[in-house]
Amino acid sequence: MKVFNFTVKSRGAVAAAVGRDLANIQAAFPALFAKTDKFCFVTDGGAPKSLKVRAMTLFPAKKTEQHRYELPPSEAAKTLEQAGKLCAFLFARGFSRNSLLIAVGGGATTDLTGFAASIYMRGIKWISVPTTFLAQADAGLGGKTAVNLAGAKNIAGTFHQPALAVCDTAFLDSLPHAELRSGAGELVKYAMIGPAALRRTIQRNLAKTLSGDRAALTTCVTACAAFKLRITAKDERDATGLRETLNFGHTAGHAFEALAAGRLAHGAAVARGLRFALLVSARTGRLAPAAFKQLDSLITALRLPPPPAGRWDFRKFMTLVSKDKKARGAQNRFLLITAPGRLTAVENIKSATLKSAFHGALK
């Protein structure tokens, strides 16, 4: 087990434990549980029972009162209504400011649980236990919590760091290939935005992660978690623009995901958002052809399935882009890439350029 400790202004010291076949987290982090009066496991209702059982063995029951709460599957959990229901559940059972929530599941579960923890009694502790490849590499880390509104992702949210993130790659053993490919969409993002050493690590292990190789999955999760937590420690609340680089590909990716209405996995949507960003970068003269070919080959290696059938409306895409929380009042705002590891934010790009990239990303 590797433990990453870092400090953020909002809550001081926080930690992340990353590895395989972890055990007895309470013994490893006794101070976190010393004054906890009760805790609640919050899980995805669609997750296999074996996964939930495995998560609970990480926190062996002693004298602390325990509860369990199931959310609706996946993105259906990320609503203000569901956050309110969870808070009401906690209140009815006497949860206090000394209580603790433990989120077990994918990014939707960690997002909703973290959000509820941030508003219940104006903030209680929570632990993130991401169980999908995508969540372990990205979504379950960093303390951004949110729910969706009016068909747009992550519009109502808070910054509320988990006291601890636990990434046990043993959870990934049973994931189907489609889930691994979805998570690899975020891996490719890190290869594009990160330093050369991280890029080399991902390039060496990308094919193996797609085949479910356990060592490769652990290596990539550890490397990506370390990078994201360093960024978070330096710019927790997107104040300097450094943390915004983690959103590369996500403005278009979130719009693709919304247009697909649940038929396109988040990681696959992000991968197409990355291709969109590469195409815009190249067609505006910011990314050289050789660099475009090098970076686009990472997306090609994912072997993405065709986008779901349906009418992909560019005007609706532009409406979603204009309402994205990162638009900051502009008609459109995208992170573009000029070279591996070098990004720049550009506003109000011509519609014709965006339309060409939109169709190119969906091929």
What are the pLDDT digits (tens) for 265-297?
A: 999 999 999 999 999 999 999 999 999 999 999
Residue 11 has pLDDT above 90, yes or no: no
What is the pLDDT at residue 96? Answer: 98
Nearest C-alpha neighbor of 279 from the set 269, 260, 293: 293
Instruction: Spell out the residues 6+ positions from residue 264 whose beta carbon is closer than 8 angstroms to its own.
Output: 256, 257, 272, 307, 308
Say whether both 30 and 168 belong to one domain.
yes
Matching residue, tokens 């001081």: 12
Instruction: Spell out the residues 6+ positions from residue 218 whose beta carbon is closer than 8 angstroms to its own.
Output: 18, 19, 20, 169
What is the pLDDT at residue 109? Answer: 97
Say whether both 16 and 165 belong to one domain.
yes
Q: Is residue 255 part of a domain?
A: yes
What is the pLDDT at residue 12? Answer: 80
What is the pLDDT at residue 327? Answer: 82
Say whether both 9 and 140 belong to one domain.
yes
Residue pLDDT, tens place only, 77-97: 999 999 999 999 999 999 999
Question: Strand locations in 139-268, DSSP E?
Answer: 144-149, 152-159, 164-168
What is the pLDDT at residue 135? Answer: 96
Domain limits for position 298: 248-361
Residue pLDDT, tens place only, 291-324: 999 999 999 999 999 999 988 999 999 999 998 8
Residue pLDDT, tens place only, 212-255: 999 999 999 999 999 999 999 999 999 999 999 999 999 999 99
What is d(CA 321, CA 326) in angstroms, rounded to the nearest whole number?
9
What is d(CA 32, CA 27) in angstroms, rounded to the nearest whole number?
10
Residue pLDDT, tens place only, 92-110: 999 999 999 999 999 999 9
Say whether both 27 and 159 belong to one domain.
yes
What is d(CA 302, CA 277) in angstroms, rounded to the nearest whole number?
17
What is d(CA 324, CA 332) in angstroms, rounded to the nearest whole number?
9
Residue that finishes a domain, picked among 158, 174, 190: 174
Q: Is residue 242 part of a domain?
A: no
Average pLDDT, the chain: 95
Say whether both 122 and 261 belong to one domain.
no
Under 8 Å between Cβ of 174 and 149: no
Find the radius of gyration of the CA atoms of the chain.
20
Residue that finishes a domain, picked among 156, 174, 192: 174
Helix then strand count (H, E) for the chain reads 14, 11
* Amino acid symbol at 331: Q
Say whether both 266 and 170 belong to one domain.
no
Say whether both 40 and 145 belong to one domain.
yes
Q: Is residue 276 part of a domain?
A: yes
What is the pLDDT at residue 144? Answer: 96
Per-residue pLDDT band for 157 (boundaries 50, 70, 90) equals very high
Q: Is residue 73 part of a domain?
A: yes
Count of the separate structural domains present in the chain:
2
Tell me, what CATH number does 51's domain have? 3.40.50.1970
Tell me, what CATH number does 267's domain have? 1.20.1090.10
What is the pLDDT at residue 200? Answer: 97
